[in-house]
Amino acid sequence: MKPALPTPKKFTLLAGAAEGSTKLNAFDNALLAAGIGNLNLLRVSSILPPEAEYVEKLSIPPGSLTPTAYGSLASDQPGEVISAAVGVGFSAGSFGVIMEYSGSCEQKEAEEKVRLMLENAFRQRGIKLEKTMIKGIQWQVKEIGAVFAGVALWY
């Protein structure tokens, strides 16, 4: 059976944070800071296709539909520290697993939560976790801020 959509061949880890005049504008600005703000994100769950190639920088035309697993958070509480992190776990000869997290915490805590979720996801699947890639970001809210961390899957 042929899949309904083509299977992505590339992936990129992204993170950004910014302020905005509203929570939605802050989120949009965080997307721009991450380098994914001019794309149409299709939120997906947690599986990285087998043999997907890591590419450090996105190279996709504006407006493209882009499958993305992500965590994000917007806050209007001045002084609050917010973070988002995303991670990919790998095992030889298998698909990868993506996990994401966002919360009122420091980046280090968000990244640790993602690492633990990856370990659990592989344990649940009975697959050996051999390598991880994790990317996170934190932001101290000035007025209205947002954080974003994601894994973009593309062709």
Which one is catalytic: 21, 40, 51, 143?
40
The token pair at 108 is 């280090």
Amino acid at site 102: S
Cβ burial, residue 5 (10 Å; 0-12/13-18/19+): exposed
Q: Is 53 in the active site?
A: no
- Give the active site residue among 19, 25, 46, 106: 46
> Which residue in the list 29, 72, 100, 111 is annotated as catalytic?
100
Q: Which of 45, 53, 56, 59 is catalytic?
A: 45
Is 59 labeled as catalytic in the residue annotation? Answer: no
- Whether 40 sits among the annotated catalytic residues: the reply is yes
Give me 109's structure tokens.
């805590």
Active site residue 130: no
Active site residues: 40, 45-46, 100
